[in-house]
Amino acid sequence: MAGSVATGVERLAELVRESGSVVALTGAGISVPSGIPDFRSPGTGLWEKVDPMEVAHIDVFLRDPERFWHFYGDRFATLRDKAPNGAHAALVELEARGHLDAVVTQNIDMLHRRAGTRELIEVHGTIATSSCLACGATFELEEARARLAADGAVPRCDCGEPLKPDVVLFGEMLPLGAMERATELATNAELLLCVGSSLEVYPVAGLPEITLAAGGRVAIVTQGPTSFDTAAAVKLDGDVVAELEALLAAL
Q: Are residues 199 and 222 in the same domain?
A: yes
Q: Are residues 120 and 133 in the same domain?
A: no
Per-residue pLDDT reduced to its tens digit, 154-190 = 999 999 999 999 999 989 998 899 999 999 999 999 9
The greatest distance separating any two alpha carbons of the chain, rounded to the nearest whole angstrom, comes to: 62
- Looking at residue 79, its pLDDT comes to 81
Q: Which of the residues are catalytic?
A: 124
Q: Are residues 162 and 181 in the same domain?
A: no
- Looking at residue 144, its pLDDT comes to 93
**Helix, strand, coil abundance in the chain, percent, nearest 5:** 45, 20, 35
Q: Are residues 159 and 244 in the same domain?
A: no
Q: Are residues 248 and 232 in the same domain?
A: yes
Contacts of 208 (CB under 8 A, 6+ apart): 25, 186, 192, 194, 199, 218, 228, 231
Query: Is the pTM above the cut of 0.75?
Result: yes
Residue-number span of the structural domain to which 13 is assigned = 1-36+84-124+174-251
- Looking at residue 89, its pLDDT comes to 98
- Looking at residue 246, its pLDDT comes to 96
Which residue stretches of the chain have pLDDT < 50? 1-6, 41-42, 44-45, 47-48
- Looking at residue 51, its pLDDT comes to 61
For position 143, which CATH number holds? 3.30.1600.10
Q: CA 180, 183, 184 angle in degrees (round to 5)?
A: 85
Q: Are residues 45 and 151 in the same domain?
A: yes
Q: Are residues 71 and 182 in the same domain?
A: no
Q: Are residues 185 and 210 in the same domain?
A: yes
Q: Are residues 157 and 224 in the same domain?
A: no
- Looking at residue 50, its pLDDT comes to 59
Question: Total structural domains in the chain?
Answer: 2
Q: CA 188, 191, 195 angle in degrees (round to 5)?
A: 120
Listed residue (57, 23, 32) closest to 216, CA to CA: 23
Q: Are residues 243 and 141 in the same domain?
A: no
Per-residue pLDDT reduced to its tens digit, 53-87 = 667 889 999 999 999 998 888 777 778 789 999 99
